[in-house]
Amino acid sequence: MRDLRFRAWDEDRKQWHKGFMVLEDGRMMDKTTILMPPSRFILMQYTGLKDNTKWEQLTKKEQQGWIDKGETKETWNGKEIYEGDVVKYGDRNYKIAWDDEGSFFGVVYGYSIQGGLFGYTEIIGNICNNPDLLKGE
């Protein structure tokens, strides 16, 4: 079964939220609070895939965060790819997006969404924190 997870960018507070449920009416709820109003959040779904970032490429903070979850260096297998992430493939940057017609996640290439590059990509940012990574792409 596919792991359905989301992250949300809070436009007002300029911060990320994880670990919440999306209610049927579109509102988001963490363990104790309904995050209101939903219109101020940009909701992004986990693709179920990971990039090819190596352990050695992680910052010390990222490595420690992985270890704090009870994991080890040996269990590391890449960063989780979310909708809205910016990935590097070759010498170009691409945004990850959902294709409604094909029902798949892929990279935005021109006016279409292409699939199949995930195993060869590296997450370099996202559209909320690093919109400049897509300038000229």
Question: Could you tell me which residues are beta bridge partners of residue 34?
Answer: 29
CB 137 within 8 A of CB 90: no
Residue 67 lies in a domain: yes
Amino acid 105: pLDDT: 86
Amino acid 117: pLDDT: 65
Which of residues 2 and 59 earns the better pLDDT score? 59
pLDDT band at 93 (very low <50, low <70, confident <90, very high): very high
User: What pTM does this model have?
Assistant: 0.83
* Structural domain that includes position 34: 6-134
Q: Which two tokens stand for residue 13?
A: 């507070």
Tally the domains of the chain: 1
Mean pLDDT of 121-136: 91
Residue 1 lies in a domain: no
Residue 123 lies in a domain: yes
pLDDT for 26 beyond 80: no
Residue 10 lies in a domain: yes
pLDDT digit string (tens) for 48-89? 888 989 999 999 999 999 999 999 999 999 999 999 999 998
CB 44 within 8 A of CB 6: yes
- 3-state DSSP call for residue 59? coil
Share of the chain above pLDDT 70, in %: 90
For the chain, the average pLDDT equals 86
- 3-state DSSP call for residue 60? helix
CA atoms within 13 A on the CB side of 37: 2
Share of the chain above pLDDT 90, in %: 43
